[in-house]
Amino acid sequence: MRQKPAWVTRLAGRIHRGVLDPMYDSNGRERAAFGRLVTQGLTAIIAMVAVGWIAFLWEHTEAIRVRREVAQRESAAYCQQLNHEACEATKSAAMQARAEQDAVDAAVWQIWLNVAGLLGLGATVLYARRAWREAERSAKAATEALDHTRADAAAQADRFSQQLAVANRQVEIADDTAKKQLRAYVYVERMDMLWLDDGPVFNVVFRNSGATPAINLRAGAEIVFCGPADIPPMPENISMGRIQFIGASATRKNQVYTANRSGVSKESISFENNINVFGRVQYQDIFAQTFETEFAFYTHTAEPDEEGMVAMIGHRAAFRAVT
């Protein structure tokens, strides 16, 4: 058996080394099994087919060439010993053998072309494999870049949301501060008790210390008797009467009638039995917000002054918004 040519051995070695490329990427993770198996399988098949055909053609071609040379020498020597007709028959047989040899040579070239096609296919598969690996790396890099972009966008959106919340809070604080600076503040500044035939009435001086008018003003009060050391609670239900409005930084004087004033006499008032007047005043500011101010005045004497009034002492005031 003839030894294979050196170029065949080198070609097989190169194809074998191509099959044994590293099977792990730069991160140490295993590649996709499908792509690896397909590439290695096709490479191995092409290598085996190419080496087998090359070896077969080499042996077969050499054997045919040797047989043809031997047959030509024998036919030439044999033809010299024969007559003309036998020699012609021998020449015809030699020509037929040469024609068969030419057919074999053509088939050999066709096979060589097929081998070249297989090698080209193998090279195409190898390049396709490399292109697939590069595409895989590019897709992985694009995915990582997209993940980073999404994370950065989420972080920026979170920072923007926090900044927007801070800005909104600052706007709310500024708006609330402006409203507090501009709104109306109404309270009872003074209260005097005046005695009528059917009971006491109360002259009340309302003051608006705010920078804007108070509108839809309403006020009401009730009488409560108690000792000097007692502080009774504010009545829950107080009848309210309309007083219209008070301008900015202005006062307004109105009489306030209590629903339970009938039956109250001067004799019922003493140091041990003080008369208390509890009440509320409600109003709206220019921002349509309703507020309420509680007030409380008391006295332990029923003796009027020169104008017939009994000055009462205030001891409670509270401003609060009405929801």
Q: How many CB atoms lie within 10 A of CB 50?
A: 20
The dihedrals phi and psi of 285, each to the nearest 5 degrees, come to -95, -175
Coil, helix or strand at residue 106: helix
Q: What was the pLDDT predicted at 243?
A: 86
Model confidence pTM above 0.75: no
For the chain, how long is the longest CA-to-CA vector? 183
Relative to beta strand 186-196, strand 241-246 is unpaired
The DSSP letter of residue 258 is: B
Residue 4, judged by CB atoms within 10 A of its CB (0-12, 13-18, 19+), counts as: middle
Task: Give whole-number Cα distances, 269 to 139, 157, 199, 272, 307, in Å.
Answer: 96, 71, 13, 8, 19
Q: How many CB atoms lie within 10 A of CB 128?
A: 14
**Cα 268 to the chain's mean position, in Å?**
74
Q: For residues 318 and 217, what is the distance between their CA atoms, to the nearest angstrom?
A: 16
Q: For residues 153 and 158, what is the distance between their CA atoms, to the nearest angstrom?
A: 8
Q: How many CB atoms lie within 10 A of CB 109?
A: 10
Coil, helix or strand at residue 245: strand
pLDDT tens for the chain, residues 1 to 323: 556 566 666 665 665 555 444 444 444 444 555 556 666 666 677 677 767 767 776 676 776 676 666 666 666 665 655 555 666 666 676 677 677 767 777 777 777 777 777 777 777 877 787 888 888 888 999 999 999 999 999 999 999 999 999 999 999 999 999 988 999 999 999 999 988 888 888 999 999 999 999 999 999 999 888 887 787 888 888 888 898 889 999 999 998 888 888 778 888 888 788 888 999 999 999 999 999 999 999 888 888 877 778 888 886 555 556 54
Q: For residues 92 and 90, what is the distance between their CA atoms, to the nearest angstrom?
A: 5
